[in-house]
Amino acid sequence: MKRYDLIVVGAGPAGLSAAIEAARCGMKVAVFDENAKPGGQLFKQIHKFFGSKEHQAKIRGYKIGETLLAEADEAGVEVFLNATVAGIYLDKEVLVQIGEAMTHFKADTIIISTGAAENMVTFDGWTLPGVIGAGAAQTMMNLHGIKPGQRVLMLGSGNVGLVVSFQLMQAGCEVVALVDAAPRIGGYGVHAAKIARCGVPFYLSHTITKADGTDCVTGVTIAEFDEHFAPIPGTQKHFDVDTICLAVGLSPMSQLLKMAGCTMVDDPKRGGQVPLVSENGETSIPGLFAAGDVSGIEEASSAMIGGRMSGLAAAAYLGFLSESDKEKRLADLEVALNSLHQGMFAPGSKGKTVAKTDEGIAVSQSLLKKGYLEDTDLERFVHRSNQTDKNSGIHPVIECTQNIPCNPCQDACTKGCIKVGKTITALPQIDDASSCTGCGMCIAACSGQAIFLVDEDYAPGFASITLPYEFLPLPQKGEQGTALSRSGQPLGIAEIIDVRNAKAFDHTPLVTIKVPAGQAMTARFYQPTTQAMEQ
Amino acid sequence: MKRISDHPILGEPEKGQLVSFFMDGKPMEGFAGEPIAVALKAAGVMVHRYTHKAHEPRGIFCAIGRCTDCVMIVDGVPNIRTCITPLVSGMRVQTQDGVTALEVSE
Ligand SMILES: Cc1cc2nc3c(=O)[nH]c(=O)nc-3n(C[C@H](O)[C@H](O)[C@H](O)COP(=O)(O)OP(=O)(O)OC[C@H]3O[C@@H](n4cnc5c(N)ncnc54)[C@H](O)[C@@H]3O)c2cc1C
Ligand code: SF4
Ligand code: SF4
Ligand code: FES
């Protein structure tokens, strides 16, 4: 039987991070993953991540995955693919199915980082082909280059539902509506706003009552629900769709931990059945650790930190790392983890309604219910600097109004125009004393696509607006299309006056439109004319 | 077009060689190495199997090999998860009906 110092189950961000830290301490490490490709969820995530520099913010998920793989390789980690861990026994022995063969491996420490499985909901017709999980949609379009469908309805407004809706549009699908049974949008407002400005309607307090079709989905009916979860008569809405995408939450895949005999707890805040763990992921069984989504649903950034912590703890457990070194390095990671656990979406705030930001500003109810800021919300949030560069009237407008752990906008501006401060969940502020050159780095760095550059005096009677545009075809200079409002409503003709696609923008092209001066603070998206005709 | 020819972030998808295979006896094309389910999807096939008792259609649901909704008969072997099984030139894929192949009238 093959022996290792550490066996890691699951090669997602948590497992790879754990393996890297442990191997760097000198441990002999094996990682098993059931997939043909390592990286877990990361390889489906093509958007720029939140967080700060130490959490690899503004880097796209799949790029973070590539870096982790290279690091694991360099550290001498052995990664076994198409290798499903089927059992875990006393004395840290695991049974692995590789192809048709069942093989036993043994280690002195084990880290379980098997991630999470998607939840399901049932409704009339839910088993029809065309009803898919959000993860399936991501797998098809981002890994295999195929559209899950042409017209899609998304159920679930958490970050997964929001992010996948945007990605569906990037892949060329039409998202007809975003539906959630909750009365408020669950994910980040900035993610919702990106979709709303493309014209996608949100239906809160609604759910699916029926999927139509005999051999596959041809339509869907939704209805508003009352407080007893009964559909309210007359609120039914029907959509012609070929795909219904479910993004209704994740549950930890903790079966292996249970099988191993770890003490488990039911914790709705962490997503369900999770192991009882110490801060560095040690379970009730000495030498057996859990890291990442399997010990509580969070996100990749915290999964990587959690993984590193349990990797170090496993190394110390076997004496590959001194207690004092372990304490020192864990303390640093603790700080990094804590900075992610602040703000309105912190694990501790789950299910609570937050009425005000940390700054004491009333949150936008429109953002929570419809996915976009109302014009009346702007005064409270949008700081408009008066001071601009001598040569141009360009200045940033930041529409980021919730306390989320994120600050790449601050790092992006070398002119010091944007300040988030030490607490990364604070709302970004514009520093009136600095002058903006219009370089656009802040727009491209913003994970939430919430920054716009506005010049009210672009030409007599006209304003210019620069916005991020991650869609194809990329508009051409001189072309005319339609300016859309935050809610995706057409405002009138917009002319493309500039298109920038620098390497430093990392696939976030910046498009500058010219609109009547009165639309400087209302136009936030551009729709090419051909697209308007198709719909 | 179901395939994504150009993607704003990922560019052109990397694909293997174009090969032909058979779906319920009919020739179809797909890219070698991609999951069978992806080639079927590109060809517009939605139903992968019918359930044993109620004869209800099933298709891709999880796309990562967990739900078994997408299983089909591949080269005579039933219960193959087509979402994680790579396409090979000349493969014979059949709609599964319960645990046997669906009778197709030619
Ligand atoms: C649509 C979407 C958008 C997201 N956006 C963000 C974001 O912007 N920022 C962010 O930080 N996070 C984001 N996340 C969350 C993030 O992807 C997850 O929290 C993170 O991937 C969890 O890491 P993990 O290593 O715990 O699990 P995973 O990434 O799920 O990896 C677990 C791995 O273990 C394997 N495995 C499971 N069981 C076994 C077994 N028995 N044997 C062998 N292998 C097994 C799995 O196949 C998988 O490869 C998003 C998630 C989704 C779905
Ligand atoms: S455009 Fe450039 S100078 Fe202006 S705020 Fe953004 S990063 Fe700073
Ligand atoms: S404005 Fe700054 S803090 Fe807000 S989403 Fe963008 S980068 Fe993050
Ligand atoms: S679609 Fe779930 S196993 Fe293939």
Q: Judge whether residue A499 has pLDDT over 50.
A: yes
Domains, in order of start, for chain A: 2-117+250-340 (3.50.50.60), 120-246 (3.50.50.60), 374-534 (no CATH)
Q: Is B38 in the pocket of ligand 4 (CB under 6 A)?
A: no
For residues A315-319, give the mean pLDDT: 98
Nearest by CB to residue A472, choosing from B3, B8, B46, is B8
A332-338 contacts, C-beta under 8 A, 24 or more apart: A333/A305, A333/A308, A333/A309, A334/A279, A334/A309, A336/A54, A336/A55, A336/A305, A337/A302, A337/A305, A337/A306, A337/A309
- Condensed to tens digits (0 to 9), the pLDDT of residues B21-39 reads 999 999 999 999 999 999 9
User: How many CA atoms lie within 13 Å of B40's alpha carbon, on the beta-carbon side?
Assistant: 32
Cis peptide before A347 (omega within 30 of 0): no
* Count of C-beta atoms within a 10 Å radius of residue B106: 5
A34/A113 Cα distance (integer angstroms): 12
pTM listed for this prediction: 0.96
Residue A392 pLDDT class (50, 70, 90 cuts): low
CA distance B87 to chain A (A): 13
**Domain range list for chain B:** 18-99
At residue A16, the 3 state secondary structure works out as: helix
Closest CA to A130 of B63, B55, B21, B5: B63
Query: Using the 8-state DSSP alphabet, how is residue A232 labeled?
Result: P
Strand-pairing partners, residue A212, are A219
Asked if residue A454 lies in contact with residue A412, where contact means CB atoms within 8 angstroms, the answer is no
- Condensed to tens digits (0 to 9), the pLDDT of residues A363-381 reads 999 999 999 999 899 888 8
Q: Judge whether residue A387 has pLDDT over 50.
A: no
A155/A247 Cα distance (integer angstroms): 6
CA distance A149 to chain B (A): 7
Residue B105 pLDDT class (50, 70, 90 cuts): low
A247/A162 Cα distance (integer angstroms): 9
Residue with tokens 């600050």: A407
Q: Judge whether residue A384 has pLDDT over 60.
A: no
Q: Judge whether residue A487 has pLDDT over 50.
A: yes
Q: Judge whether residue A286 has pLDDT over 70.
A: yes
For residues A411-435, give the mean pLDDT: 92
CATH code of the region B18-99: 3.10.20.440
Output the pLDDT for position B99.
85
Asked if residue A512 lies in contact with residue A499, where contact means CB atoms within 8 angstroms, the answer is yes
ipTM: 0.96
* Per-residue CA distances from A27 to A75, A77, A78, A109, A290 (Å): 10, 9, 11, 10, 18
A339/A423 Cα distance (integer angstroms): 7
* Count of C-beta atoms within a 10 Å radius of residue A23: 26
For residues A204-229, give the mean pLDDT: 95
Q: Which residues contact A266 (CB under 8 A, 6 or more apart)?
A: A272, A273, A274
For residues A26-31, give the mean pLDDT: 98
Average pLDDT across chain A, whole number:
94
Alpha-carbon A352 to chain mean position: 20
- Condensed to tens digits (0 to 9), the pLDDT of residues A77-121 reads 999 999 999 999 989 999 999 988 999 999 999 999 999 999 999
Nearest by CB to residue A127, choosing from B48, B56, B84, is B56
Average pLDDT across chain B, whole number:
95
Cross-chain Cβ contact A216/B56 below 8 Å = no
Q: Say whether residue A36 is in contact with chain B using an 8 A CB cutoff.
A: yes
For residue B46, report the phi and psi dihedrals to the nearest 5 degrees: -105, -35
Asked if residue A219 lies in contact with residue A212, where contact means CB atoms within 8 angstroms, the answer is yes
Q: Judge whether residue A535 has pLDDT over 70.
A: no
A62/A367 Cα distance (integer angstroms): 29
Q: Is A397 in the pocket of ligand 2 (CB under 6 A)?
A: no
Alpha-carbon B96 to chain mean position: 11
For residues A454-468, give the mean pLDDT: 96
- Among A47, A56, A191, A406, say which to mutate for ligand 3: greatest number of ligand atoms within 8 Å of CB: A406
